[in-house]
């Protein structure tokens, strides 16, 4: 089942893997929310869309690589965020529900 809210998304984080019927962007965000940056990044860099670039930007921002994240925000057509990483995760999840 695809979640309808961030809270429903969060409720899946006790599972071992994300649901197979989820989109690749949502799976990438799920791995990040679980603390698995590498798996999240592996998925995000294979998503050839502005959403993939946005997730990629967020992940590099999270790792502290501002230069690389700014590049990917540009590719996504998004400004560098002025809000927390936690808030950006919620915004990204919401954009994929």
Domains of the chain by residue range: 25-95
pTM confidence score: 0.96
Whole-angstrom CA distances from 80 to 10, 61, 71, 75, 86 are: 25, 9, 10, 11, 15
What does the pLDDT average to over 21-47?
A: 98
> Over 34-46, what HEC string results?
CCCHHHHHHHHCC
Mean pLDDT computed over every residue of the chain: 97
pLDDT per position as a tens digit, 52-92: 999 999 999 999 999 999 999 999 999 999 999 999 999 99
Residue 1, pLDDT above cutoff 90: no
Q: How far is CA 22 from the centre of its chain?
A: 13
């Amino acid at each position: 089942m695809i979640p309808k809210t961030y809270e429903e998304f969060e409720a899946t984080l006790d599972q071992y893997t994300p649901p197979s019927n989820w989109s690749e962007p949502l799976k990438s965000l799920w791995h990040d929310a679980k603390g698995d940056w590498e798996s999240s990044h592996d998925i995000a860099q294979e998503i050839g869309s502005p959403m993939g670039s946005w997730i990629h930007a967020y992940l590099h921002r999270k790792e502290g690589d501002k230069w690389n994240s700014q590049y990917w925000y540009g590719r996504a057509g998004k400004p560098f965020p002025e809000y927390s990483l936690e808030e950006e995760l919620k915004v990204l999840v919401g954009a994929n529900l």
